[in-house]
């Protein structure tokens, strides 16, 4: 199963980037996960969505359309998703009637140095995914608080408990995505 991973942080030493890499390493062998960079996507502007839209939009849309599922890994900015992630959703949802998100199985993991683990971003993203018709894994939920303390100096998960939880999450996501795809 070909899975696109979208990371909502652009920072080089991003905790959510580290989290995405950990999720990739813990995924079942039936999944092939690749991080799709979203930082270079021009902001969505319908005036640019002509017969020749920006090349970055076209490449992004093709990559998401070809995927079997999408995993979103995001921090929380002001109780919501980062603008770069919202922009990726918007770019993929247009032109109207040709959304690349439609019926694409999804899952969300949010991570934050704060105690509630990006709960606001996770749920705000779910609202957009409902509208975009992305069937999203409901359980287990994944909000990782104190994410700044979960990794060692090499960016690897430091605790077995978190690794086991994330491995179980990825197994549930694989089952969920196969179930959605078979319908």
Q: Judge whether residue 97 has pLDDT over 90.
A: yes
pLDDT of 69 above 90 = yes
Mean pLDDT of all residues belonging to the chain: 96
CA distances from 10 to 99, 122, 138 (A): 24, 17, 26
pLDDT of residue 159: 82
Res 124: pLDDT: 96
Residue closest to 144 by CA, chosen among 179, 112, 108: 112
pLDDT score for 146 = 95
Q: Quick one: pLDDT at residue 123?
A: 96
Inter-residue contact 49 to 19 (CB < 8 Å): no
pLDDT computed for residue 183 by the predictor: 84
Q: Evaluate the omega torsion of the peptide bond into residue 101 and state whether it is cis, within 30 degrees of 0.
A: no
Q: What integer pLDDT is reported at residue 60 of this predicted model?
A: 98
Cα radius of gyration (the chain): 16
Question: Distance between CA atoms of 156 and 52, rounded to whole angstroms?
Answer: 42
Distance from chain centroid for Cα 174: 14
For helices 15-26 and 160-181, the axis angle rounded to 10 degrees is 70
**Cβ–Cβ < 8 Å for 164, 33:** no
Which pLDDT tens digit goes with each residue over 127-174?
999 999 999 999 999 999 999 999 999 999 998 899 999 999 999 999
pLDDT digits (tens, 9 = 90+) for 22-48: 999 999 999 999 999 999 999 999 999
Instruction: Give backbone dihedrals phi and psi of 32, rounded to 5 degrees, phi first.
Output: -115, 115
Between CA 74 and CA 55 the distance in angstroms is 25
């Amino acid at each position: 199963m070909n899975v696109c991973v979208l990371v909502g942080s652009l920072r080089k030493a991003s905790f959510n980037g580290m989290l995405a890499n950990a999720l990739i390493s813990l995924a079942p062998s039936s999944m092939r996960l690749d991080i799709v960079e979203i930082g270079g996507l021009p902001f969505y502007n319908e005036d640019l969505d002509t017969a020749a839209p920006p090349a970055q939009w076209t490449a992004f849309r093709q990559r998401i359309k070809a995927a079997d599922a999408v995993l979103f890994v995001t921090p929380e900015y002001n109780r919501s998703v980062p603008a770069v992630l919202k922009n990726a959703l918007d770019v993929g949802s247009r032109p109207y009637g040709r959304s690349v998100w439609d019926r694409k199985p999804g899952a969300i993991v949010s991570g934050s140095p704060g105690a509630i683990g990006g709960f606001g971003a996770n749920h705000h993203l779910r609202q957009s995914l409902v509208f975009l018709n992305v069937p999203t894994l409901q359980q287990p939920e994944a909000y990782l608080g104190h994410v700044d303390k979960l990794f060692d100096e090499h960016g690897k998960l430091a605790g077995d408990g978190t690794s086991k939880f994330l491995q179980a999450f990825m197994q549930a996501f694989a089952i969920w995505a196969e179930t959605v795809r078979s319908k």
